[in-house]
Amino acid sequence: MTNNLQATTTLSNGVKMPWFGLGVFKVEEGPELVNAVKFAIKQGYRSIDTAAIYGNEEGVGQAIREAINEFGITREELFITSKVWNSDLGYESTLKAYENSLAKLGLDYLDLFLIHWPVEGKYKDAWRALETLYKAGRVKAIGVSNFQVHHLEDVLKDAEIKPMVNQVEYHPRLTQAEVKAFCDNNGIQFEAWSPLMQGQLFDHPLLKDLANKYNKSVAQVILRWDLQNGVVTIPKSTKEQRIIENSSIFDFELKAEDLDQISSLNENHRVGPNPDNIDF
């Protein structure tokens, strides 16, 4: 299964997606961003996740170009994700948003393009646009983010191509079991954002006990739990030490009862917005 940083899951269309990547949510444009992305790639990360709304696609693109030049890797070895923002959802506007993201990143294609939020009345037209891009060979894979079961069912009613990925808030206090089961049953890869709950779990007694038991950090225990549950994960960090630590999770395995204990911490508690309640 997942025994190294380059390990991949195969999406429903045959595209290989790394199990582990770097998120850059709220990392501002500038040297810190460029250095973090380059450092991660140098350490062996191959997946970088950004979004139009993060306002940092240009810096991510710069880091990718510099990494390719300096570290002897190719564009094809990398897996780059971006997302269309709510104000751009719609058929023509989503097509345009894709071109804008590519231009800012300075890339010819994306590996994965996602609808960022399921805005009522807009996401189905956006999905048709993603299908158009996919059928034209402009993007390797398409998916959604923050979709609940009823949103997915709604898209699947008319979709010619089903979403390959659903990226949602997922951590031990929000396991989204129903959404995950639906995705698993429909061949949609589940992916976690905010896997560490923005650091709010680091003092949790059970997680601290497990960290001691496995001689790992709490973050490493949580991220390992993601992988063993078949969930792609993209923790965000700009600190070199943390980028290394987060990815040092391929040399141990959590026992089944410990996985269950972590899952039992679920309280349906969100740190981000509720997808059924979008006013932005």
Residues 6+ apart with CB under 8 A from 43: 5, 243, 244, 247
End-to-end CA distance of the chain: 38
Q: Which of 54, 123, 134, 170 is catalytic?
A: 54
**Residue 109 appears among annotated catalytic residues:** no
**CA gap 52, 212 in Å, rounded:** 39
Buried/exposed code over 27-63 (b: 16+ C-beta within 10 A; e: otherwise):
beeeeebbebbbbbbeeebbbbbbbbbbebbebbbbb
The residue with tokens 């009345």 is: 121
Cβ–Cβ under 8 Å, residues 127 and 147: no
Reduced to 3 states, what is the DSSP secondary structure of residue 94?
Answer: helix
- In sequence order, the β-bridge partners of residue 22 are 48
Report CA dihedral (70, 64, 36, 207) to the nearest 10 degrees.
-120
The residue with tokens 């609808």 is: 115
Cβ–Cβ under 8 Å, residues 208 and 218: yes
Give the catalytic positions in this structure: 54
